[in-house]
Amino acid sequence: MYGIADLDNCYVSCERVFRPDLQGVPCVVLSNNDGCIVARSNEAKKMGIKEGTPYFQLAQHFPGQKIAVFSSNYELYGELTGRVVSIIRQETPAYFRYSIDECFMYLDGIELDKLQTWGENLHKRVKREVGLPISIGLAPNKTLAKIASKLAKKFEVYKHCCMIDTDYKREKALEWCPIEDVWGIGRRYSAKLQALGCKTALDFAKHHNDWVRLTFNNINIVRTWQELNGEDAVPNEQLAKKKSICTSRSFNGMISDFETLRTHVANYASRCAEKLRMQNTVANIVGVFINTRSAQRDACLSKNAFREDLAQYWNFQETRLVTPTSSTVPIVQAASEVLKRMFIQGYQYKKAGVIVMGISPDSSIQQDLFDVNAEQIQKMRRLDKVVDRINRMHGSETIVIGAQQYTKKDGKGKADVFANAIKHDFKSPNPTTRWGDIMKLNANAKKKKE
């Protein structure tokens, strides 16, 4: 049996851990640069607030409504969800973290008749020790487990844990699940299936295997069909294998000078290096892209998105590293060199990103025959280890390299240094990772009330 633990409204739930006064209050979390809504509480969903709604439209569409708004605080979300994963690690024979708010669990060591109680107890422990609500789906394969977790979220009768262990339960679950909500079926295939009369997961599952193969000619769609019919078809290694890591952002405003753009790219490259180290991997290709237009979702917020009066430019280039690495300094240096090659003065840039590719385990790094910097590589590893430890203890970006900072003049002509140019006017504190944000309790508050 497989299981999946899925945090309910993850970002909003994390914000509410230290704000119990927000229980029952509509809450939303914004994207980077406070652009669009990316997470909503159940109360906000009931009000009709849609994901992707630009922040500035909230007051227009919901005048006079009390809505709690937060900037994205990934440091807080990562720390709290990490606590949930540590509990899952203790409770399960094996697991794989699929995303920031989801973990697949392999439950072969737990007896079938005890799984339902086990799942309910896991929910209770996470809620008690971390304060986050979690829904658990149990099934013979990963796709059905995902559907079961949706049922656990939707219906209170399941007590936050739904198990699909019979054909009757499987067919009832597939009949309830819209085809667009099936894990492994993207937007394009969902539209095609609906055009072919497959409105629900059950409609698709009832088709013959030959029809699926001839219609789609796609191994992943075939595996999804097999799993909907109760088979275990998605390989475990397919989940864990990452071919690339990308970090990108739309800017708060437009950027025309190289140094400011280089600072953003250095921040993205540093984040990619950190992600590589977190999963014990290295990369041998560093790519950079720059764009004068923001993403489609941010188009309504961009001052130059799709404006015909401004010159438009997009480019992507990459470089190969002599020796695969996860160290921040060489990856940032490589990204900066790539940016220098393709930067053109005179454009108003709105977005940039860094992509690291050619990812492999760090346990089997092939040293280049002509690379004489073996000693320097070891120094970089030791440096990264120390920096990661300090940033874990005192908060992310406590220590950064010089390329991640830029100098900007304030209104009085003085120079101020910024390590992060992302706009987050509604960002909450980080009481679990930063000493300066530790919560202070007022011992006299109760006495004053009395």
- DSSP 8-class letter at 195: H
Using alpha carbons, select from 100, 111, 177 the residue that is nearest to residue 144: 177
- 6-16 residue pLDDT tens: 999 999 999 99
Out of 74-78, 127-131, 139-143, 285-289, least confident range = 74-78
How does residue 153 score in pLDDT terms, banded at 50, 70 and 90? very high
pLDDT higher than 50, residue 317 = yes
Q: Is the distance from CB of 9 to CB of 41 less than 8 angstroms?
A: yes
Burial of 279 (C-beta count, 10 Å sphere; 0-12/13-18/19+): middle
pLDDT higher than 90, residue 194 = yes
- DSSP run (H or E) holding 267: helix 258-278
pTM for the complete prediction? 0.72
pLDDT attached to residue 151: 96
Average pLDDT, integer, range 434-447: 72
Average pLDDT, integer, range 68-73: 92
How does residue 32 score in pLDDT terms, banded at 50, 70 and 90? confident
pLDDT higher than 90, residue 28 = yes
Report the chain's C-alpha Rg in angstroms.
24
| Segments in 32-141 forming alpha helices (H) | 42-47, 58-61, 74-91, 115-129
Average pLDDT, integer, range 134-157: 95
Rounded-to-integer distance, Cα 208 and Cα 23, Å: 47
The answer for residues whose C-beta is within 8 angstroms of residue 51's C-beta and 6 or more apart is 37, 38, 39, 40
The answer for residues whose C-beta is within 8 angstroms of residue 192's C-beta and 6 or more apart is 216
Tally the C-alpha atoms within 13 A of residue 208's C-alpha that lie toward its C-beta.
Answer: 3
Rounded-to-integer distance, Cα 31 and Cα 42, Å: 18
Rounded-to-integer distance, Cα 146 and Cα 181, Å: 10
Higher pLDDT, 175 or 78: 175
pLDDT attached to residue 60: 87
Q: To which residue do tokens 């809450």 refer?
A: 27
pLDDT attached to residue 363: 73
Burial of 397 (C-beta count, 10 Å sphere; 0-12/13-18/19+): middle
